[in-house]
Chain A
Amino acid sequence: MKVKDLSPNAVSCLLLLGCDRIFSSPVPTIYTRHAARFLEFWLLFMPLCLWDPLGSSWNHIAMIPVGAVISFFLLGIDELAIQLEEPFSVLPLANIAGGIGKSADEHVEWLNELLERNGELNDYRP
């Protein structure tokens, strides 16, 4: 079978990963673990380098909030990645599935309207 024989729909489908595959296989966990270890290690030593730059504050006290803010924003990136990695529980699945349900209802109605207009429903009512 050649590519030109496929319908546009089929071609767009080739590009897809299916839901089951995304759900059951995470980004290889060696990446996730290494990222977590590296980030945590880096952040634990990061306050040491804040001593000199923040020397103008009282007893270098600015190290505490600055260290916390930096760690929050950097950890936040890893957190966002973790949050998006399993996308289904942050996708509006109920809306999408509900929309398909509404389409199904509409088609049933449209068929009924057609049958009625065509005079086929004269002796029958659902």
Chain B
Amino acid sequence: MKDLHVLLSAVLFPSTVKAFTVTVTSSILPRISTNPITYSSNHRRHHHHNYQHALMSTQNRSPLEELELTWSDKQAPIEELEVSYGEQSRLYRRDFFTHELWVYHRSPFRFTRNLSTLLKSGVVRQLLPETFLIAMVSTFLVVFNSFLVVGYDDLAGVHHAALFGGVLPLLKLPTEPFTLSSSALSLLLGTFACVCWVGNYWKLFLFELSFLFYFFSPTLQNYLKVFRTNSAYKRWDEARKAWGVMVNNSRTILRQTSAWIFKADLPAAEKQRLMKRVADAVWLFPRAEQRHLLSKREDEEAYQTAVRERLWSNPELAEDMVSFERHRPSRALYEMTTAINEIPIEMFRRVAVDESVSHLCDAMGGTLVCEEAFCQIV
């Protein structure tokens, strides 16, 4: 099986095969260190994740971590995975629907359409190695059982005896452990209910999958999978809601400040300057957040260009937003707060607009008062 994976990796990540052959011995036969495992639990917690493993240098790994680090992580470095077909296809999943797209989405030809694009699917490409592996297991069983155990039919349909008839065991298992038990049905419906919430083409996939559950999956697997898809979808939904809050509160800030600036006792040029500063800051925050959440590889260049173009009236801020790298959205919120603070408005209005800025901050970082019981009082 490992050889098969090597072969597949040679197809998928050709340039890493050489590096892989160097490391494969240490991963198949993990080095047994004579040192006791002395790392602290803290150290363990920070480095237990597979991808962090992949980024760590070899000499820093403890024996246990070496064991946990599977060979496939070494075999495909992050840089290569980042530009793989499956990863790149994520760029095309950022659906932002319009009326026309909804019509397309509901089209009666959606089933054949989705089937016809099967080979372009990033999901399919991602799963190709594993699917191929299972197909190879099946092939092995067919060859082994037919030729060595029960005999085989040739192309003319004539039966031939097995090579070692009666010596080797027939490799098979009963179907029962693999079939569905009745309690799994409710969990299956759980998948379906969850799937109905998904607002894009993912739902088609899951719809088909739930039927396969019905035929082939044991209870436990259903449970696990329902949990997996549910929790993943919940995260997607929460992320989208957080951005919804950002949109709403940005508009609130613009609406309030523009009206209040208009009524302020200032010359027109000053009003325009203040408004431009607030508007730039309101644009800057989501742009910085976007860059913060996307990879540097994808967005850094576009971000720098956009910031320099948009903040032409304030080049110092633009350079700050480029050179400061740790958490740019915070820097943008700081700019927004100082911009608002510059407006001569009365205290109550200042409090009101600052509340909206705080909501932006919450959507960015997560609120401290996220208690379900607290919300249920409402």
Contact partners of B280 in chain A: CB under 8 A: 104
A110 with B228, Cβ < 8 A, contacts A16-B241, A79-B123 known: no
Query: Nearest B residue to A93 by beta-carbon distance?
Result: B290
The answer for the CA separation of A68 and B135 in the assembled complex, in Å, is 5
The answer to the question of B24 belonging to the interface, with a C-beta cut-off of 8 Å to chain A, is no
Which residues 58-113 in A have Cβ within 8 Å of B in the complex? 58-61, 63-68, 70-97, 99-101, 103-105, 107-108, 110-112
Q: Are A47 and B258 in contact (CB under 8 A)?
A: no
Interfacial chain A residues near B289, Cβ < 8 Å:
19, 93, 97
Q: Does B305 count as interface, using CB distance less than 8 angstroms?
A: no
CB of B163 within 8 A of chain A? no
A-B contact count (CB 8 A): 320
- The answer to whether A10 touches B359 (Cβ under 8 A) is yes
The B90-117 residues at the A interface (CB cut-off 8 A) are: 90-91, 93-96
Q: In the assembled complex, which residues on chain B have CB atoms less than 8 Å from the CB atom of A29?
A: 48-50
Q: Which of B49, B141, B261 contacts A51 (CB 8 A)?
A: B141
Most A-side CB within 10 Å, residue of B50, B217, B367, B369:
B367
Residue of A nearest to B172 (CB): A51
A interface residue count range (under 10 / 10 to 19 / 20 to 34 / 35 or more): 35 or more
Is there a chain A Cβ closer than 8 Å to B22's Cβ? Answer: no
Q: Can you list 14 A-B contacts with CB-CB less than 8 angstroms, sorted by A residue number?
A: A18-B367, A46-B178, A58-B153, A59-B152, A71-B130, A71-B131, A71-B135, A74-B216, A81-B232, A89-B94, A99-B247, A101-B286, A111-B275, A121-B268
Task: With both chains docked as a complex, state the minimum distance between the C-beta of A18 and any C-beta of chain B, in angstroms.
Answer: 3
Q: Are A81 and B127 in touch, CB under 8 angstroms?
A: no
State whether B178 touches A64 (Cβ < 8 A).
no
Residues of A within 8 A of B (CB): 3-4, 7, 9-23, 27, 29, 31-32, 34-35, 38-40, 42-53, 58-61, 63-68, 70-97, 99-101, 103-105, 107-108, 110-112, 114-115, 120-121, 124, 126
Question: Is the CB–CB distance between B172 and A84 below 8 Å?
Answer: no
Q: Which residues of A contact B94 (CB under 8 A)?
A: 89-95
Residues of chain B within 8 A of A27, CB atoms compared: 228, 231-232, 235
Residue ID in chain A nearest B282 by CB atoms:
A104
Query: Which residues of B sit under 8 angstroms from A43, Cβ to Cβ?
Result: 130, 134
- Alpha-carbon distance between A38 and B123 when the two chains are bound, in angstroms: 20
Instruction: Please give, as numbers and ranges, the residues of chain A lying within 8 Å of B126 by CB-CB distance.
Output: 79
Report whether A83 and B90 are in contact in the complex, using a CB–CB cutoff of 8 Å.
Answer: yes
Give me 7 other A-B pairs in contact (C-beta within 8 A), A3-B378, A83-B123, A108-B276 excluded: A18-B366, A19-B239, A60-B142, A79-B123, A81-B228, A93-B243, A101-B283
Q: Quick one: closest B residue to A88, CB to CB?
A: B293
Alpha-carbon gap, A15 to B48, bound state (A): 30
- Decide: A22 and B135 in contact? CB cutoff 8 A: no
B262 touches A115 (CB 8 A): yes
How close is A17's CB to chain B, nearest CB, in angstroms? 5
Residues of B within 8 A of A68 (CB): 131-132, 134-135, 138
Residues in chain A near residue B221, CB distance under 8 A: 38-39, 42, 74
Is B173 among interface residues, defined by CB-CB distance under 8 A?
Answer: yes
| Binding-face segment, B7-15, B58-66, B206-214, B341-349 | B206-214
Interface mask (B365-378 → A, CB under 8 Å = 1, otherwise 0): 11101110011011
Q: Determine whether the beta carbon of A104 is less than 8 Å from that of B142.
A: no
Question: Given known contacts A15-B370, A64-B139, A77-B225, is B279 in contact with A87 (CB within 8 Å)?
Answer: no
- The verdict on A40 contacting B130 (CB below 8 Å), with A83-B90, A100-B250 known, is yes
**Cross-chain contact B290 with A100 (CB below 8 angstroms):** no
A88 in complex: contacting residue of B177, B233, B279, B294, CB < 8 Å: B294
Please judge, given known A-B contacts A14-B374, A89-B294, whether A97 and B262 are in contact too, CB under 8 Å: no
Q: How far is the CA of A14 from the CA of B367 in the complex (A)?
A: 6
B251 to A, closest residue via Cβ = A103
Cβ of B238 under 8 Å from chain A: yes
Asked if residues A107 and B268 are in contact (CB atoms below 8 Å), the reply is: no
Asked whether A13 and B362 contact (CB < 8 A) given A44-B134, A49-B172, the answer is: yes
